[in-house]
Structure 1
Amino acid sequence: MTLQGRSGLLALTVLFGMGCATLRAQQKGQYVPGQQGLNAGVIPAPGLTYGNLVINYSASSLNDASGNHRPNVVGSYGFWVDENIFFFVPKAKIFGGYFAPYISINPASGSLVASITGTDLNSGGGGSGLGDTWVEPANMGWHFKRVDFNVGYAFVAPTGRFVPGASDNVGSGYWGNDITSGTTYYVTKNKGTTANLFTDFESHRQKTGTNLTPGQAFTVEWGVGQTLPLKKDFSRLLQLGLIGYDQWQVSNNGGTLGPGLPANAVPFYYVHAIGLQSNFILPAKNLNAFFKYEDEYRALARPEGRTFVFGFTWTLRIPKPVPPKP
């Protein structure tokens, strides 16, 4: 089992803004890209699985709607999310696949410091605490000869602290709905070389205490990996790969940001990134540790930064596998 995590909620809803309009104008979605990559189609083995995934994002530049850096906006934006992911996968098959629901509980912290040169406009903020909660009650995975595939429905519960206009929010302040899928194609017969694709389509409800509804977003994460045995008996494996993500806002924001300023006047955001991933796998112990780094190279109407992800997963197999006879 080599799951890298499926949740990921924005630690702070406050973002670099779009010029002089406001430093809180961008209505960002909830799913944070950079959590998938290799083994996107693989679900845990039957039993109980715990995963700990730590994601850090930081940026010190803001791009406009054309992808050009805005030199007059100076500052930094960053957050940490510590995802605690709990899976339960029954042994019995349903429609030839495995039912794999899970939940992610996410302490988070973040900060924003920004100013626009030549003006008196400055902004700062930061907060920490329990973030929003990701629940995927319907998730199915199938194992085929050369493909692992999963598809599911998730919702985001706004359990993180949110007060309109506050500078220390940790949650998004609204409910979200996500349709997810993951695919791992085994390029070689020994399954050592893989091509991977993950997708997430998210839609949102209205923010608490406002008339704002963030636009829908679509995220793609991809990866190409190679597994190498560190011991001849395959008891220790190293997996290395090239990974990346792409995220687009795909529908208008709803509501108003202020008098005469409709939310749909804010440009759609886009971002693209590429990076590397490594996994250290102990198959007999059902343990996988992972590390990822992805650098954003094309961001529109949003910050452009970099993402670090690291953590591990461990599965308590139920029933316990019977060891092979000598």
Structure 2
Amino acid sequence: MTLACATIPGSKPKQTRLVKAVALALAALSGPALAANGHYVPGVEGIKGPVVPPAGTYYRGYLVHYDFDEITLPNGDTAPLKGNVTALANRFIHITEKKLLGADYGFETIIPVQRNDFDFANSKESGVGDIFVGPVVLGWHGQQWDAVFAAGIWLDTGDYSSTEPASIGKGHKTTMLTLGGTYHFDAAKSWSASALSRYEIKSKQDETGITPGDSWLVEWGLGKRLDNGLELGLVGYDAWQLENSKGVPAGTGKAEKHALGVEAGYFWPSLMLGLNAAYLNEYQVKNGPSGDLFRLTLTKVF
């Protein structure tokens, strides 16, 4: 892992210790995990994220830009290191007419295209990332509530190198389990509260022998749909690495992130098209980068 080009102020001994600490943090986070706590990027869902649509075929394009200007090290110190990640996650969803366990049954896939630019390591990479295949999507619907369960796997299809911090892929597969729900406070469903959780179980990286620790993420949203159709609200996410990564040096610690932001969205029924925009700021981070996330989500109903 090349960090020689990182510009870190201070004396030479202090700089050496800091570079070593950053290297340990990067080893534990493994490449693109700089932008997330696992394969799944937090903050891409918000208001009514757990609501599964009716039977049909859908496309959702998540355009995400993440900027970070410092990294929190395992010992709690911070290093002023800059970088960014820009990604377009192309998600294709098909909800069938079939029922399973009383829920609408569907399946999905996500094909991300991204560019990682880590200034501090002079490392830039772009390309198609790890692809997600989700054979199970279950959606339940009540009079004023919705719930979802889903299961799938992130494949190690993206390019990965242990010596390239900005690698597009992660070098390992991840099983992801999803569970969430939305409650509507009124019969008109103009007020909503939602929470969507993702549990990730990671496999071993063949190149390094490292097995990243399991992680859990919760995205949430509080929304209000106005009479003109515009929906506004507060959004956020909370992410925890639940266990230490195996095969990395001692003292790397677990990652944790908390963010808060705002979202606005509108759906045009005549076009069967929706657009959402969100901004989130990471206000508390442990063992990882701290920054801001900007998101645009395009939804097309076919």
* Shorter-chain TM-score above 0.5: yes
Task: Identify the residue that residue 245 of structure 1 maps to in structure 2.
Answer: 237
Q: Normalising by structure 2, report the TM-score.
A: 0.87
**Contact preservation (8 Å) 1:50, 1:85:** yes
Aligned mates of 1:242, 1:274 — CA distance in 2: 8
SS at match of 1:166: coil
Mapping of residues 128-207 of structure 1, within 5 Å: 128-207=126-205
**Does 2:107 align with 1:101?**
yes
- CA deviation after TM superposition for structure 1 residue 43, in Å: 1.2
**Does 2:292 align with 1:306?**
yes
**Contact preservation (8 Å) 1:136, 1:152:** yes
Aligned mates of 2:99, 2:273 — CA distance in 1: 23
Task: Identify the residue that residue 283 of structure 1 maps to in structure 2.
Answer: 269
- How many residue pairs get aligned? The number is 277
Mapping of residues 204-243 of structure 1, within 5 Å: 204-230=202-228, 237-243=229-235
Q: Which has the higher helix share?
A: 2
Deviations 1:273-302 (A, max 9, x none): 000001111234332100010001001111
Mapping of residues 103-122 of structure 1, within 5 Å: 103-114=109-120
**Does 2:291 align with 1:292?**
no
Give ranges in structure 1 of 5+ residues lacking alignment: 1-16, 115-122, 231-236, 317-326
- CA deviation after TM superposition for structure 1 residue 60, in Å: 0.5
Deviations 1:85-125 (A, max 9, x none): 111111233332211210011111011122xxxxxxxx321
**Contact preservation (8 Å) 1:66, 1:300:** no
- CA deviation after TM superposition for structure 1 residue 153, in Å: 0.7
Q: Which one-letter code corresponds to 2:170 in the other structure? A: S
Aligned mates of 1:254, 1:171 — CA distance in 2: 19
Q: 1:183 to 1:290 in 2, by over 3 A?
A: same
Q: Which one-letter code corresponds to 2:106 in the other structure? A: A
Q: 1:19 to 1:299 in 2, by over 3 A?
A: farther
Compare 302-311 and 73-82 and name the one that shifted more. 73-82
Aligned mates of 1:19, 1:166 — CA distance in 2: 16
> What RMSD in Å do the two structures reach over aligned CA positions?
1.8
Give ranges in structure 2 of 5+ residues lacking alignment: 1-16
**Contact preservation (8 Å) 2:21, 2:74:** no
Determine which of 33, 42, 47 is the counterpart of 2:56: 47
Q: Which one-letter code corresponds to 1:242 in the other structure? A: L
SS at match of 2:28: coil
Q: 1:62 to 1:283 in 2, by over 3 A?
A: same
Compare 211-220 and 276-285 and name the one that shifted more. 276-285
Q: Which one-letter code corresponds to 2:206 in the other structure? A: T
- CA deviation after TM superposition for structure 1 residue 58, in Å: 0.9
Q: Normalising by structure 1, report the TM-score.
A: 0.81
